[in-house]
Amino acid sequence: MIEVTHLTKVYNRHTAVSDLCFRLEAGKIYGLLGPNGAGKSTTLNLITGCLAPTSGTVTIDGLDIYKDAKRAKAKIGYLPEIPPLYPNMTVGEYLRFTGQVRRLSRSALADRVNAAMAQTQIQDAERCLIRTLSKGYRQRIGIAQTLIGNPEVIILDEPTVGLDPKQISEIRELISRLGGQHTVVLSSHILSEVQAVCDHVLILDHGKLRASGTPESLEQQFSGKPKLTLSVRADQDTVKRILRDVPGIDTLTYTPEAHGIATVTLETDRARNEQVFLAFSQAQCPILQMQETKVSLENIFLELTDQPEQEGAKHVGDL
Amino acid sequence: MSAIFKRELNSYYSGMTGYIIAAVLLGLIGIYTVTLNLTYGYPNFEYVLDSMTLVYIVLIPLLTMRLIAGERQQRTDQLLYSLPLSSGDVALGKFLAAWAALGLPLLITGLYPLILGQFGTVNYATAYAGLLAFFLMGGALISIGLFLSALTESQFVAGTLCFAVLLVNFSTYSLSIYVSSASYLSFLTLMLGGLVVAVILWYLTKNLAAGLTFAVIADGTMLACYLLSPGLFGGIMAKILRASCVFIRMTGFINGVFDLRAVIYFLSVIGVFLFLTVQALEKRRWGE
């Protein structure tokens, strides 16, 4: 549906986006994840044709966004980071205006405006001036605007910024509903948001694609051996002595806590967990807590975005 | 384009701007009509319009300052860039809306010669030709204001810039009398002018090669002409100043002549400044 090839954007001497390449399939929800300043908004502006690239191409359903701009843009609905709303228009007037630009017929326009308002639950505000409405409403009007032409692709730049938790939850539900009917690309620096709604994650940093894949496949790729965390009442020598007899333990850290209790972290195969338990049991050393730690998307995100600039991306799964 | 036109035209009348423009135009044209036609008994409605040209210096900035600067200020330009619209559609839609907001009150003033005709002899041909020229001149000045609005994010800056440019343009004809006619001064000024245009071209297109090529061709041609025949440059600055004065083009119509050259002049100014507006919009898309 969307194909980005060697996309680069240079502002004066600052490279905002560098040699991006990826393909997005129809009907999925994609999350563009990255810290502030990673190049997410620039990438979305390039994909939607709001910005022209220094080099590279973007095609929407085979149509070049710059060479065949009108036809390609007809397939996209875009909500920038700041919803582009005219404060002196009513919600209905605004939505009808965007529909008229998309050359919808009079009857189709009325149907689409009603459908978009119903999808985003803003029917009650149809006759209200946009300047009188709350941030949550404005965000939903912005999303409704993207739905007017019933485009195949919907691109949302940080759609939940500045909203309260209830509004965030409502917008996430709405985005989840949009997946399947549309290809949704959503940018965010909030991991839980991406994890909650996206089928596929692209991690961006310093304008480069660091990794891409489903949240599960990324976790699998970056997890390595599972980590086992134990809370035990024993000193460091005792722990070492007990675990000496258990094979396949790669790394071991010992962190003393209060009241003679220590946290022990070790990397081992999952199959060895029982052996570790029994070893402590036979040594009559009580285990107060035992937990297998999975590598979360957050760890992957931090690991990738903490690194200095590097070449290449880690692709997981079929992109 | 028609959606942009409708939205812009509506926005003039959803706020105060459209009504203020109409009130000022109708009020002042009414006062001048009463004074010149009724009190002094002139049968020429075009004299009223001649007195009104100065009002454009204030009205045109009011009409154009928010057209594109306002979109940038409230970040709605991103909507226009992402919708299936070309920069040409945006520029043309906005220009036509502003021109229509000027034309609507002028339509009402079109009744004035008919009303005056009830009380005496009115030369309808010169009156309506004058009204057409007044409207076309308004269009030319709107296109300049639109372009200036595309250069900045601030409506205030756009309005002030437009006011200053129109004021200077209004004065260029009078200033041309005081300009030296010495060939070498005209030559140096034109060379400098060529460089300034090249820099503007470079700024708008972000293409250094385009700017340099223009500078070399323009200044090179002028240098060659000056070396071959310095006399060519005698008094040329005064001619250029007179030629660049949009306001003076009304003179023919005021004197009862349907000046086709002026009509072509106004339409050319509209074409050039719409083109420059599109370039300014595209420059923004290139994010420079």
Global ipTM = 0.81
CB contact under 8 A, B83 and A71: no
Closest by Cα among A34, A81, A80, A60 to A207: A34
Check residue A161 and give its pLDDT: 81
On whether the CB atoms of residues A265 and A228 are closer than 8 A, the answer is: yes
Check residue A319 and give its pLDDT: 38
Check residue A203 and give its pLDDT: 86
Q: What residues in A contact B85, CB-CB < 8 Å? A: 70, 73, 101
Q: Does residue A127 sit at the B interface (CB-CB below 8 Å)?
A: no
Closest by Cα among A197, A158, A201, A198 to A37: A158
The residue of chain B nearest to residue A97, with distances taken between CA atoms, is B3
- For a pLDDT cut of 90, what percent of chain B falls above it? 52
Any idea of the CA torsion for A238, A241, A245, A249, to the nearest 10 degrees?
Answer: 80
Q: Count other Cβ atoms within 10 Å, centred on residue A296.
A: 16
Residue type, A74: A
**B30 or A274, greater pLDDT:** B30
Q: Is the pLDDT of residue B287 over 70?
A: no
- The partner residue sitting opposite A49, judged by closest CB among B7, B15, B82, is B82
The pLDDT tens digits for B113-143 are 998 888 888 888 999 999 999 999 999 999 9
Closest by Cα among B225, B201, B224 to B211: B201
The residue of chain B nearest to residue A104, with distances taken between CA atoms, is B3
Q: Does residue A129 sit at the B interface (CB-CB below 8 Å)?
A: no
The pLDDT tens digits for B46-82 are 889 888 999 999 999 999 999 999 999 988 999 999 9
End-to-end CA distance of chain A: 11
Check residue A316 and give its pLDDT: 46
Check residue A296 and give its pLDDT: 66
**Could you give all domains of chain A from N- to C-terminal order, each with its CATH number?**
2-215+300-315 (3.40.50.300), 225-293 (3.30.70.980)
CB contact under 8 A, B82 and A50: yes
The residue of chain A nearest to residue B81, with distances taken between CA atoms, is A50
Here the contacts of B111-119 (C-beta below 8 Å, separation 24 or greater) are B112/B29, B112/B33, B112/B45, B112/B48, B113/B45, B116/B33, B116/B37, B116/B38, B116/B43, B116/B45, B119/B38
Check residue A224 and give its pLDDT: 61
On whether the CB atoms of residues A257 and A312 are closer than 8 A, the answer is: no
For chain A positions 174-203, those within 8 Å of chain B (CB to CB) are none
For chain A positions 145-174, those within 8 Å of chain B (CB to CB) are 145
Tokens encoding B220: 């090179």
Written as tens digits, the pLDDT of chain A (319 aa) is 889 989 898 887 788 888 888 898 888 899 988 888 888 889 999 999 888 888 899 999 889 988 888 899 999 999 998 999 999 899 999 999 999 999 888 889 999 999 999 988 888 988 999 999 988 889 889 999 999 988 999 999 988 887 788 888 888 888 888 887 889 999 987 777 788 888 888 888 888 888 888 877 777 666 666 678 888 888 888 888 888 878 877 767 888 888 778 888 887 777 778 888 888 888 888 888 888 776 666 667 776 666 555 545 555 443 3
Q: What is the mean pLDDT of residues B86-94?
A: 94
What is the model's pTM? 0.81
Those residues whose C-beta lies under 8 Å from the C-beta of residue A38, and which sit 6 or more positions away, are A189, A204, A205, A206, A207, A305
Q: How far is A315 from A212, CA to CA, in rounded Å?
A: 5
